[in-house]
Amino acid sequence: MTKSKLIYGLCSLGILAGSCNNQSQQKATETAQSAVKPLYVTDPVVHDTDDPAIWLNPHDAAKSLIVGTDKDADGALYVFDLKGKAIDSLTVRNIQRPNNVDISYGLPLGDSLVDFAVTGERLTAKLRFYALPSMKEIVPDGIEIYQGETGPEYRDLMGVAVYRNPENGKQYVIAGRKNGPQDGTYLWQYEIKTDGGQLGLELVRKFGQFSGKKEIEAIAVDNELGYIYYSDEGVGVRKYYADPEKGNEQLALFATDGFTKDHEGISIYKLDDKTGYLLVSDQEANQFHVFPREGAADNPHDHQLITKIKTSTVSSDGSEALSTALGKEFRHGIFVAMSDDRTFQIYKWEDLAGDILKSKK
């Protein structure tokens, strides 16, 4: 028996309390040392960070931007550079509790193609759209959704994600709320319409199973493969087709084991158009579970755990990954995760990948 095992046995019997305390401190130190550290941490927001998104600058990738929510009744969309410095001239304030944010590209609007960020304003059940990189609001005061839902508990807008169909260019917003029915209509999907140069929304379907256990917040979309993923907190990750014309069948429920408590932010790192990784936040454990984006060789909907990555984030809700090279510091892409200290942490992908995961060349 090794000395450490002997001490552990005596600890379990209530003996050698001092050594037990020392062992606990050593274990905590080892755990902290094993956590991946960010390259940068953003400037803090005023109230409460929740979810980030990354805008890829088409002219100079090193000048790409991070957009993140400050979740409060006096909330904001903060804009940061890749070193985490807040750009005050682009930050949008007076948003009533923005929760999640997502970004998409090339929306035909008038005579132009517009990149945009969209966030959900929880206290008004509105989607608010902002052109990038100017952050000028496209529809002043936003567009109300969940029409016909009378109970406030079913209008508490939280999750937001954008799907751009690569085949026909149609773009959609998928919206989730803090509470919803268990009958397969928890998520609402709206097609973005720009007829006459004005942005509008058309409800195209309601879908998505819900366990009723906690809530659904984190939503991620894989445009190339055409799937939507969302976290049914405390249960697992559910997978559906992103194209509403392909139906509302649940394709998979995975990540059901090994989570400490809540399933939270989902992000996708793409090695190419078909392969890569799905990263899911194990919130209370301050780590991310990693699954194959492409599934198994004989079943694209079989997502088995590859590894777990401990990070220095605290109770992370939202996250975002991008595999495009963003200048010299992020040659293989970037990973940004919310931390419960009013910041977002910015990682080099290869630091997370270590010796287990691949990096885009």
How much is the pLDDT for 103?
98
251, 209 contact by CB (below 8 A): no
224, 274 contact by CB (below 8 A): yes
Tell me which of 2.130.10.10, 3.30.930.10, 3.40.30.10, 2.120.10.30 is the CATH number of domain 39-353.
2.120.10.30
Lookup: tokens for 84: 């985490």
d(CA 63, CA 82): 7
DSSP string, 228-277: EEEEETTTEEEEEESSGGG-----EEE--SS-SS-EEEEEEEESSSS-EE
Beta carbons within 8 Å of 32's beta carbon, 6+ residues apart: none
How much is the pLDDT for 21?
46
d(CA 297, CA 224): 18
Beta carbons within 8 Å of 86's beta carbon, 6+ residues apart: 42, 43, 78, 79, 80
How much is the pLDDT for 8?
36
Residue-level pLDDT, tens digit, the chain, 361 residues: 434 434 434 444 444 444 444 544 444 334 445 899 999 999 999 999 999 999 999 999 999 999 999 999 999 999 999 999 999 999 999 999 999 999 999 999 989 999 999 999 999 999 999 999 999 999 999 999 999 887 778 899 999 999 999 999 999 999 999 988 999 999 999 999 998 889 999 999 999 999 999 999 999 999 999 999 999 999 999 999 999 999 999 999 999 999 998 898 999 999 999 999 999 999 889 999 999 999 999 999 999 999 999 999 988 889 999 999 999 999 999 999 999 999 999 999 999 999 999 999 8
One-letter identity of residue 150 = T
d(CA 302, CA 285): 24
Q: Is 312 helix (H, G, I), strand (E, B) or coil?
A: coil
The domain ranges of the chain are 1-34, 39-353
d(CA 122, CA 146): 12
**Taking the complete model, does pTM exceed 0.85, yes or no?**
yes
Residue 361 CB burial class (10 angstroms; 0-12, 13-18, ≥19)? exposed
How much is the pLDDT for 33?
53
